[in-house]
């Protein structure tokens, strides 16, 4: 049996983008300033020092991009709606009808091409006015503005969109996009340090979980019966293995999993409605949910989205040791170099399909086999290959190996009874890769950023995925 035929008929084979990473046209539709506009204007923040206006211009080229999706043959396309484009200052005081029409046009075009739209409501780009209104998710008023934004999206797009995701990588958002935290990625504007700085990621996670639950309950009460959609949340999925069989390293591995993965989903997916017990033991300041809040949070998702790129090896630390990052210090563990291949060269991505299989089995056992949607998985171009000829860049054999290995892991997970409902390849095209700028490219389609048309060209990985999906559809009589 070939790999494409090992997936069930209703399995989603998708690719994805995010609004800020591809849209450009930052003044069209009256779009407001986002946090990433601010970050790109700060000296030295973007590693390739690229022009802050450089973009794939996806806002203007969406018809061409949907045609590209149709050519590849994906069953579904995951994209995000820019909060700043629809609500320039983040609130309902100003609503851009042109932006709403743009996203409706995208959804209609996808539908006409037999592609399911999967919409993420928040993918890292917060209106700057909201961020500065009391520092992002630390301000509960900002959270209420996001609940209202989500409600507006349900009203305007719910007839076309049946699969929603509230937060992309809620755990990463808490650690990296609220305040600058030592040893963590820095993905927020440069602002003066706030009070209780080291508590910020935990307070933000608490507020986001409550916000997610409010959005879910609102949809459940006011829209689900008529729109018949589902709502999920996406977590960054970094599985952890112990560095040895020692009880201390095993315990450190469990703590690392709690800090890196469980803490932003355990309140939703367990009867406790609360953070992991290890966090309660180590963090006396950890915010407490009321009984009413716990009931609202528990079960507030129809599926779990997981973005998976790598796994970690971790060990226990000694009493006199001070690890690099705050999460390591708070949880008393340390990263060690793992066994996995550096498939893209000296980058953070690792070829670790065994970690994905282990993570899916872990979720099955720990979280009552919740439906899991792999909402991102992929790897970047080989570092330094921009010096190569175009034909060599397009021949991305390492990416095909990465995709194949991880699809094989998903197939094995399904064979083991894991409730995996879809796989999303990140990403459709080379784009703005956050603080790396355009120096790091994850696309299965190359974008010529020097051309006026920002020409898209399918890499060999896109053609591989195209063939894979065609065989999957042929097997299930979906062509």
pLDDT digits (tens, 9 = 90+) for 304-326: 999 999 999 999 999 889 999 99
Polymer length in residues for the chain? 479
Where is 222: in which H helix or E strand? Answer: helix 200-222
pTM summary value: 0.98
State the pLDDT at residue 386. Answer: 67
Question: Per-residue b/e over 215-233, b at no fewer than 16 CB within 10 Å?
Answer: bbebbeeebbeebebbbbb
Q: What would the pLDDT profile of 378-404 be if each residue is shown by its tens digit?
A: 999 998 776 778 888 899 999 999 999
More confident residue, 226 or 319: 226
**Paired residues of 447 in beta bridges:** 456
In this predicted structure, the answer to whether residue 124 has a pLDDT above a threshold of 80 is yes
State the pLDDT at residue 319. Answer: 85
Q: What would the pLDDT profile of 257-285 be if each residue is shown by its tens digit?
A: 999 999 999 999 999 999 999 999 999 99
Residue 79 in contact with residue 120, Cβ under 8 Å? yes
Q: What is the mean pLDDT of residues 76-94?
A: 98
- The distance of Cα 385 from the centroid of its chain, to the nearest Å, equals 26
How many CA atoms lie less than 13 Å away from 142 in the CB half-sphere? 20
Query: pLDDT class for 139, splitting at 50, 70, 90?
Result: very high
Annotated catalytic residue within 57, 169, 266, 328: 169
In this predicted structure, the answer to whether residue 188 has a pLDDT above a threshold of 90 is yes
State the pLDDT at residue 256. Answer: 98
Query: pLDDT class for 12, splitting at 50, 70, 90?
Result: very high
- The whole-angstrom separation of Cα 215 and Cα 431 is 30
Handedness of CA 149, 154, 157, 161 (dihedral sign): positive
CA separation (Å) from 196 to 79, 201, 346?
A: 34, 10, 35
Tell me how crowded residue 197 is: count the other CB atoms within 10 A of its CB: 13
Residue 379 in contact with residue 356, Cβ under 8 Å? no
Question: Per-residue b/e over 157-167, b at no fewer than 16 CB within 10 Å?
Answer: bbebbebbbbb
Question: Domain spans of the chain?
Answer: 3-475
Active site residue 169: yes
Q: What is the mean pLDDT of residues 52-61?
A: 97
Residue 238's nearest CA partner among 136, 142, 338 is 338
Q: What would the pLDDT profile of 334-363 be if each residue is shown by its tens digit?
A: 999 999 999 999 999 999 999 999 999 999
What is the token pair recorded at 181?
Answer: 């935290």
- The whole-angstrom separation of Cα 101 and Cα 210 is 30
Cα–Cα–Cα angle for 355, 359, 365, rounded to 5 degrees:
145
Share of the chain above pLDDT 70, in %: 100
State the pLDDT at residue 76. Answer: 98
Query: pLDDT class for 232, splitting at 50, 70, 90?
Result: very high
State the pLDDT at residue 27. Answer: 87
SS (H, E, C) 231-280: EEEEEEEEEEEECCCCHHHHHHHHHHHHHHCHHHCHHHHCCCCCCCHHHH
CATH dotted code for 3-475: 3.20.20.80
What is the token pair recorded at 244?
Answer: 């040895």
Active site residue 321: no
State the pLDDT at residue 65. Answer: 98
How many CA atoms lie less than 13 Å away from 156 in the CB half-sphere? 23
Q: What would the pLDDT profile of 394-438 be if each residue is shown by its tens digit?
A: 999 999 999 999 999 999 999 999 999 999 999 999 999 999 999
State the pLDDT at residue 61. Answer: 98
Upstream peptide bond of 105 is cis (omega within 30 degrees of 0): no
Annotated catalytic residue within 116, 293, 376, 433: 376
- The whole-angstrom separation of Cα 4 and Cα 8 is 9
State the pLDDT at residue 172. Answer: 96
């Amino acid at each position: 049996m070939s790999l494409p035929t090992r997936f069930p008929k209703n399995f989603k084979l998708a690719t994805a983008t995010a609004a800020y990473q591809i849209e450009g046209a930052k003044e069209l539709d009256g779009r407001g300033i986002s946090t990433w506009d601010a970050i790109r204007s700060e000296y030295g923040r973007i590693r390739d020092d690229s022009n802050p206006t450089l973009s794939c211009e996806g806002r203007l080229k969406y018809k061409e991009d949907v045609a590209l999706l149709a050519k590849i043959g994906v069953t579904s396309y995951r994209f995000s709606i820019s909060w700043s484009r629809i609500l320039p200052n983040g609130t309902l005081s100003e609503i851009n009808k042109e932006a709403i029409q743009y996203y409706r046009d995208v959804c209609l075009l996808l539908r006409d091409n037999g592609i399911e739209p999967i919409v993420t409501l928040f993918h890292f780009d917060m209106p700057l006015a909201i961020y500065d209104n009391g520092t992002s998710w630390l301000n509960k008023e900002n959270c209420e503005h996001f609940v209202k934004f989500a409600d507006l999206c349900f009203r305007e797009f719910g007839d076309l969109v049946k699969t929603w995701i509230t937060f992309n990588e809620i755990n990463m958002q808490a650690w990296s996009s609220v305040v600058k935290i030592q040893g963590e990625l820095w993905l927020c504007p440069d602002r003066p340090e706030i009070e209780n700085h080291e508590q910020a990621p935990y307070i933000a996670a608490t507020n986001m979980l409550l916000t997610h639950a409010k959005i879910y309950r609102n949809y459940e009460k006011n829209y689900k019966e008529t729109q018949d959609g589902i709502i999920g949340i996406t977590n960054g999925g970094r599985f952890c293995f112990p560095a040895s069989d020692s009880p201390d390293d095993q315990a450190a591995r469990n703590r690392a999993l709690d800090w890196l993965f469980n803490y932003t989903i355990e309140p939703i997916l367990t009867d406790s409605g609360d953070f992991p017990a290890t966090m309660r033991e180590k963090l006396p300041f950890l915010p407490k949910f009321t009984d009413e809040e716990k009931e609202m949070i528990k079960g507030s998702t129809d599926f779990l989205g997981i973005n998976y790129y790598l796994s970690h090896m971790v060990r226990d630390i000694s009493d006199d040791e001070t690890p690099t990052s705050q999460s390591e210090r708070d949880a008393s563990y340390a990263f060690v170099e793992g066994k996995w291949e550096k498939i893209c060269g000296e980058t953070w991505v690792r070829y670790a399909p065994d970690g994905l299989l282990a993570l899916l089995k872990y979720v099955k056992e720990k979280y009552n086999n919740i439906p899991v949607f792999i909402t991102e998985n992929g790897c970047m171009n080989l570092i330094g290959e921009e010096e190569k000829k175009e034909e060599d860049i397009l021949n991305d054999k390492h990416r095909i190996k990465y995709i194949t290995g991880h699809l094989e892991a998903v197939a094995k997970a399904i064979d083991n009874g894991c409730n995996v409902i879809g796989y999303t390849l990140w990403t459709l095209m080379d784009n703005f890769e956050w603080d790396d700028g355009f120096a790091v490219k994850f696309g299965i389609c190359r974008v010529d950023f020097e051309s006026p048309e920002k020409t898209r060209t399918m890499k060999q990985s896109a053609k591989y995925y195209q063939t894979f999906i065609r065989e999957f559809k042929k097997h299930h009589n979906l062509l």
